[in-house]
Chain A
Amino acid sequence: MKEVMAIIRMNKMNLTKKALSDAGIPSMTAKEVLGRGKGLVDYSLLEGAEKGYEEAIAQLGQSQRLIPKRLLIVVVPEKLVQLTVKTIIKVNRTGKSGDGKIFVMPVRDSISVRTSENGDSILDEA
């Protein structure tokens, strides 16, 4: 089984929830987080700063602010990883930077607290 950790835009949360449950993956954990990415480099701004325009220099160090995002954690069996990833990408892609990242990580075991069963049988099945 794999853990799929996705960092997405806040306003895409409801669409993502719906798309995942339509795809047969209803269970998930979500959390409000703050984050930053590689950051956009605006080359016209850099050029301006090099030439010594003060407005451009003032805007330079502004990109490292932390932006509110949603962190989704879904644990799925091996065969559902591709479906989960594709569903999240399809809903969240706007093509601009800031759409987010998806990390896929191995998980040794999962155990249901209610029944103390373990293994793939307690996870979502499509």
Chain B
Amino acid sequence: MLMIRSIVRPTKVDDVLAALMEAGFPAVTKVSVVGRGKQRGIKIGEITYDEIPKELLITVVPDADKDFVIKTVIKAARTGDKGAYGDGKIFVSPVDEVYTISSGIKETASGETEEVKI
């Protein structure tokens, strides 16, 4: 299992969510965040804005679907054909275990499932 955290423009969130739904990955968590990138924010005249609002989308997917999901997000979140500064970043990190609270079913990275006794 891998956790894919994508930081995207707030205006592109609806596109990304629709693209993920279409691609068969409906489960997403969305967090509003502020941040800056390598360009040190945006400078407009005298003022530098270094807390730019972005949306953080969290999805957890099987290892095999990683590239497909990343491609889907990139395709939906990029502005224009070439993209622009501020389109965002995608981070991938490992997840050892996933528990579904309603059923108590545990899934491990190796694909085994078992029910947790509480």
Q: Which residues of A contact B (CB under 8 A)?
A: 2, 6-8, 31, 33-39, 64, 66, 69, 71, 85-86, 88-90, 92-106
Name A90's closest neighbour in chain B (CB-CB): B118
Are B101 and A89 within 8 A (Cβ)? yes
Complex A-B, nearest 3 residue pairs according to Cβ-Cβ distance, in ascending order: A99-B102, A99-B101, A35-B29
Q: Could you list 23 examples of A-B contacts with CB < 8 Å?
A: A33-B30, A33-B31, A34-B29, A34-B31, A35-B28, A64-B26, A66-B17, A71-B29, A71-B31, A85-B97, A89-B104, A95-B102, A97-B102, A99-B100, A100-B101, A101-B60, A101-B99, A101-B101, A102-B97, A102-B98, A103-B95, A105-B93, A106-B96
Q: Which residues of B contact A (CB under 8 A)?
A: 1, 3, 17, 21, 26-31, 60, 93-104, 116, 118
Are B26 and A94 within 8 A (Cβ)? no
Chain A CB within 10 A, most for which of B101, B116, B118: B101
Are B101 and A93 within 8 A (Cβ)? yes
Are B26 and A38 within 8 A (Cβ)? yes
| Distance between Cα atoms of A97 and B103 in the complex (Å) | 9
Please name all residues of chain B whose beta carbon is closer than 8 Å to the beta carbon of A8 when the two chains form the complex: 101
Identify which of B1, B26, B28, B118 contacts A86 (C-beta below 8 A).
B118
| Distance between Cα atoms of A101 and B1 in the complex (Å) | 13
Q: Please give the distance in Å from A48's CB to the nearest CB on chain B.
A: 21
| Distance between Cα atoms of A31 and B56 in the complex (Å) | 12
| Distance between Cα atoms of A102 and B97 in the complex (Å) | 8
Please name all residues of chain B whose beta carbon is closer than 8 Å to the beta carbon of A97 when the two chains form the complex: 102
Q: Please give the distance in Å from B83's CB to the nearest CB on chain A.
A: 26
Are B102 and A2 within 8 A (Cβ)? no
